[in-house]
Structure 1
Amino acid sequence: MAQRSELKFAYWVPNVSGGLVVSQIEQRTDWSYDYNVRLAQAAEKNGFDYALTQIRFTAGYGAENQHESVSFSHALLAKTTKLKVIAAILPGPWKPALAAKQLATIDYLTEGRIAVNVVSGWFKGEFDAIGEEWPEHDERYVRSEEFIRSIQGIWTQDHFSFDGKYYQFKDYTLKPKPIQKPSIEVFQGGSSRAARDMASRVSDWYFTNGNTVEEIKKQVDDIRAKAKENNHHVKIGVNAFIIARDTEQEAKAVLQDIIDQANVEAVNAFGDATREAGAASKEGEGNWAKSSFEDLVQYNDGFKTNLIGTPQQIAERIVALKNVGVDLILSGFLHFIEEVEYFGQHILPRVREIEQAAEIKDAPAPADV
């Protein structure tokens, strides 16, 4: 019987202070290394495949402290055995030669458990603060695509040469190359036309903000059609903030408490910055163009995915996302360690049961003998 691949699960690493909601509500989540080690160990014990570190250079929108993503990713890998950690990097502060060598070394030291999320950038103030160039919207994706082509070429070829607008290489050979073959997995995000087109050409994974099943399907179909034209395949990850409680009423009450206690100033400032960034795209909108104030309280539209309710409701909604082409759920939680454990005990088994039932249902009938 042909096996359909199991859905993968990732979680946002809270290596940035403030948690995953811009709210004054209590979050039993901490940005310290000790907390994150315990969280990573709990996550891999409870069925999570990936962890995604965040990249921030300056304070803002409730994130006053930030640990650097690549070194923090390596530190978490040193304390785990199965989890793959996705290190977020920004073209501009990082150059592809350094990133390729740095990540290849981590891959070698961790037996193939590092991945990379190439972030094209949305926070102009951050780039200005550290003296980095801020190309206009679509040019940032041109730079990111060159960055990805460069690191992939370095990881897979000897005597690599590349002559781009932003990066150039001549007869460069990196050794040792990564353990992972053909190379280290490359993730990216963004909802603009430029972001989706880049994913359809070069990325292994595409992250999209949270949304309804119907809207996610439109994005999946669009990217997969474009990728097919390019003889490329890209997998899809969807952001979701998960609130699982014994009853739907309890879960919805938690959501309302988060919104009622939102940091209004920080949410509005974040909304202004994202609208400014999106307005610079050719289509005049970006990731958060259709996000309400309530959506922006979870800054990657995680509430929109509606994984809020009982374990059974959430499991069914997760599989509905899989059925429209989603390969991975990128999860955020209010109280990370305890809710990751609750997810592993009460939601993930239900997801696997539904997946298995679907496989049995879709299996061909045995031939007559």
Structure 2
Amino acid sequence: MLSHAIRFGIWALVHGNRAALQDPDEPYDASFARNRALILEAESLGYDSTLVAQHTINPHDERLDQLEAWTASAALAALTSRIEIITAIKPYLYHPVVLAKMALQIEEISGGRFAINLVNAWNRPELERAGIGFAEHDERYAYGEEWLSVVRRLLAGERVTHAGRHFNVQEYELRPTSRFRARPRIYVGGESAPARQLVADQGDVWFINGQPLDDVKSLIDDVSGRPRSGAPLRFGLSAFVVARETDAEAEEAHRHLLELAAKDAPLKAIQTANTDPKVVMMQTMAKSPRVGTNGGTAAGLVGSYDRVAERILAFHALGIETFMLQFQPFEREMRRFAAEVMPRVRARQATPRRKAGGHG
């Protein structure tokens, strides 16, 4: 498998804390001011990317603040100079022509650093209360596949005519297109059978939720073996990091976060009730205790700085290129990772290594 350089990204704090909402070391804050400062600092620390998740209402507690992804991303594109900005999109919320135009504008603002991340929604009230309706799981993916087929062509500057089940687009062409590349990159999330086929057909990068090495290997083997046109598919992984000088210190910090996360149990019960049970991400999350979203600590990036660096290299050996990371308290731990783990990863990459350690 073609190996690309390791890239490190951070999840924007669109709905505040990633591990536990009731943390005295990280008061809840999902403001644009915090996210602006966070992402500017991440860029200065050497992080390569940020993922701005899209929710119109807070998925954990509707009374809490929620950053709006697309307007915030446009502002971040103007404020930053190097970091890639990936913005999630739920197809039911935007017509493909409108979304493609917005994406191309942010591509222009950013100087060619913008990407979209297609996700097909899991939070039922977000769509139902708006009167949009929450279609059955596979139907959402059928809609998303058609939606993306229109967006993808518009992003590439094609003059699009499309007559499908959901959209009827006649002779539509958007200008300007990207002056920096053929089109913005397309990330796709989701691990169900329809999601895997969608990313194989139309995605550039597949975002996999945090989970053990063997599980990630199976997912990559399945999707990379599917017929595909164009460039080979690339892979990213979400993970929550707890790194310290020693394994014992990291495990203690992890236990502390688990205790804090347990206080959110009533909110998690509401979130579970609002979630489509067919969403594979939630099925994976329910397998064992963990902190963080999108798999969180299930990826195993908990331990000493050396252990976490080796684990990252083991995932990279499987084909993972982009690591989209979470921390708590976010800013402090983001700095720690940049100071302690990033240099270890780079140093090991520069040194010939034996076969990566066993999977687990």
Picking from 326, 331, 350, the partner of 1:332 is 326
Cα deviation, 1:223-276, whole Å, max 9, x if unaligned, reads 1001x45555221111100011122112111211121222111223333444x4
State TM-score, norm by structure 1. 0.89
Distance in 1 between the 2:91 and 2:202 partners? 15
Code of the aligned partner of 1:205: V
Give 1:78's aligned residue.
78
Q: Distance in 1 between matches of 2:88 and 2:284?
A: 25
- What is the letter of the counterpart of residue 32 of structure 2? Y
Q: Could you say which residue in structure 2 is the equivalent of 1:141?
A: 141
CA distance in 2, matches of 1:89, 1:207: 14
Alignment partner, residue 358 of structure 2: none
Please show how residues 123-202 of structure 1 align to structure 2 within 5 Å: 123-202=123-202
Deviation at 1:38, TM superposition (A): 1.9
Counterpart residue type for residue 337 of structure 1:
E
Match for 1:265: what amino acid? P
User: In the alignment, is the contact (CA less than 8 A) between 1:22 and 1:62 conserved in 2?
Assistant: no
CA contact (8 A) 1:267 1:296 kept: no
Pairwise CA distance, 1:291: 3.0
The Cα RMSD (Å) is 2.1
Q: Deviations over 1:327-346 (max 9, x none)?
A: 11110000222222211111
Amino acid across the alignment from 1:237: G
Runs of 5+ in structure 2 lacking a partner? 356-360
SS at match of 2:145: helix
Query: Separation in 1 of the partners of 2:100 and 2:47?
Result: 26
User: In structure 1, the residue corresponding to 2:86 is in which secondary structure?
Assistant: strand
Q: Under a length normalisation based on structure 2, what TM-score does the superposition of the two structures give? A: 0.91
Q: Is the 8 A contact 1:236 1:326 kept in 2?
A: yes
Letter in 2 for 1:216: V
Equivalent residue, structure 2, for 1:367 = none
Equivalent position of 1:366 in the other structure: none
Q: Give the letter for the 2:294 counterpart.
A: N
SS at match of 1:86: strand
Q: How many residues align?
A: 350
Change (3 A) 1:158 1:207: closer
Q: Per the alignment, in what secondary structure is the counterpart of residue 280 of structure 2?
A: coil
Q: 2:314 corresponds to which residue?
A: 320
> Per-residue deviation at 1:27?
4.7
Q: Supply the AA of the counterpart residue of 1:314.
A: V
State the partner residue of 1:267: 268
Residues 104-139 of structure 1: CA deviation (Å, up to 9, x unaligned) = 111112211111111211111111111113221111
CA distance in 2 between counterparts of 1:229 and 1:90 reads 24
Alpha-carbon contact 1:88-1:119 (below 8 Å) kept: yes
1:344 corresponds to 2:338 = yes
Q: Does 1:7 align with 2:1?
A: no
Amino acid at match of 2:272: G
Tell me the secondary structure at the aligned position of residue 240 of structure 1: strand
Equivalent residues of 1:202, 1:232 under 8 A apart: no
Q: CA deviation at 1:288?
A: 2.2
Identity %: 25
- Structure 1 343/94 Cα, relative in aligned 2: closer, same or farther at 3 Å? same
Q: Relative to 1, partners in 2 of residues 1:358 and 1:295: Cα closer, same or farther, differing over 3 Å?
A: farther
Which residues in structure 2 correspond to 1:209-288 (within 5 Å)? 209-226=209-226, 228-230=227-229, 233-261=232-260, 262=262, 263-274=264-275, 276-278=276-278, 286-288=280-282
> Quick one: which amino acid aligns to residue 271 of structure 1?
T
Q: CA–CA distance in 2 between the matches of 1:158 and 1:196? A: 26
Deviation at 1:293, TM superposition (A): 7.4
8 Å contact from structure 2 (residues 15, 58) kept in 1? no
Preserved CA contact (<8 Å) 2:160 2:172: yes
